[in-house]
Amino acid sequence: MTHLPAIFGCAGPKLLPDEAKFFSQVRPWGFILFARNIQDAAQATALTEDLRDAAGYDAPILIDQEGGRVQRYRPPVGRDWQPPLDQITASGPRAAEFMFLRARLIAHELLSMGIDVNCIPTLDVATDVTHPFLRNRCYGTDVRAVAAIGQAVAGGLMDGGVLPVIKHMPGHGRGTVDSHLSVPRVSAERATLEAVDFAPFRAMADAPLGMSAHVIYDAIDPRPATISPVMISLIRDQIGFDGLLMTDDISMEALEGTVAERSAAALQAGCDVTLHCNGDLPEMRDIAETVPAAMTRDAARRGRAALAARATPAPVDIPALEAKLAELTQA
């Protein structure tokens, strides 16, 4: 089966007939859910089943449930994660264990609703200038600690049957503006970028899925990484990432042009799929009419490899994990 090189959202908590018809026609590679799509666990489970039925296969269903400020659902659907990430990651040696447990519990919640991809770990290395939209979602300022926590998060998700997505490649931490609104420009020298910003991604280059950064790295290329063949080649050849590479949300205003034009530019640059999050059906139709109808051979191979990494989680004692997490929180 061929798939449109896209990940799409839907407008609300139920799949509308027009959406189902469109998805069955274009067969996107996957879907992504947001708070607007989740009212309760039973409804979310029904929605994930309907999305997969529309796609005609066991499509990946993504979410951003970071376990910090960004949580697409909260009680009573699932846990409200406290304390904030910046408090956890400042806790030193305990941080990786803490984040493994948090990720494993998040995976348990997600999989129970049919959601099998979570867009974490966030491997951006924070700096003094990191924009607030990202700063308290980062795992710290130390390269080794960020990589270690990222590996722990990915391990917790995988143990729970959920695939991780490393983001934002090749590093968003020096961005001083919100890429939802405008394009960040990073002026650091290439040697600094390679030693700091790119390093956690090299440490996790074997991850099944990754997400690009809508960031310009002046020392390397004048185009945002998402639409830069130079930066995508760097991600592939120097960082060594051969997983499926999705764009960050193509609706974000860091990129110029229509969402369809942005999507086409990202795919031409070497991204495997475009990620469109807002559930706007006319925009999704424009994308489907503009981009190739099927993923490239390499993108399809990477997509198959990523989905093959999905595994049935081993039985786990959830109350025991919760008790250990509480113990670490109080320590």
Q: DSSP string spanning 236-273?
A: IIIS---SEEEEEETTSTTS-S-HHHHHHHHHHHT-SE
| Count of other CB atoms within 10 angstroms of residue 182 | 12
Dist CA 194 CA 170 (whole Å): 9
Provide the pLDDT for residue 146: 93
Dist CA 299 CA 209 (whole Å): 11
Q: DSSP string spanning 29-52?
A: EEEE--GGG-SSHHHHHHHHHHHH
Dist CA 217 CA 170 (whole Å): 10
Dist CA 254 CA 215 (whole Å): 8
Kind of pairing between the strands at 244-249 and 273-275: parallel
Q: How far apart are the first and last CA of the chain?
A: 51
Dist CA 303 CA 331 (whole Å): 41
Contact 272, 237 (CB under 8 A): no
Q: Is 198 exposed, middle or buried (0-12, 13-18, 19+ CB in 10 A)?
A: buried
Among all residues, which ones are annotated catalytic? 180, 248
Tokens read off for 17: 């007939």
CA angle 245, 103, 211 (to 5 degrees): 15
What separation in angstroms does the CA of 135 have from each of 74, 87, 123, 141? 21, 12, 12, 10
Provide the pLDDT for residue 278: 96
The mean pLDDT values, 10 residues at a time, for the chain of 331 residues are 96 98 98 97 98 98 89 89 73 86 96 97 89 81 93 97 97 79 88 96 98 95 96 98 97 91 98 98 98 98 97 92 86 66
DSSP run (H or E) holding 134: helix 132-135
- Cis omega (within 30 of 0) for bond into 170: yes
What separation in angstroms does the CA of 172 have from each of 38, 178, 179, 198, 239? 28, 10, 9, 10, 15
Domains of the chain: 4-330 (3.20.20.300)
Tokens read off for 210: 């990754």
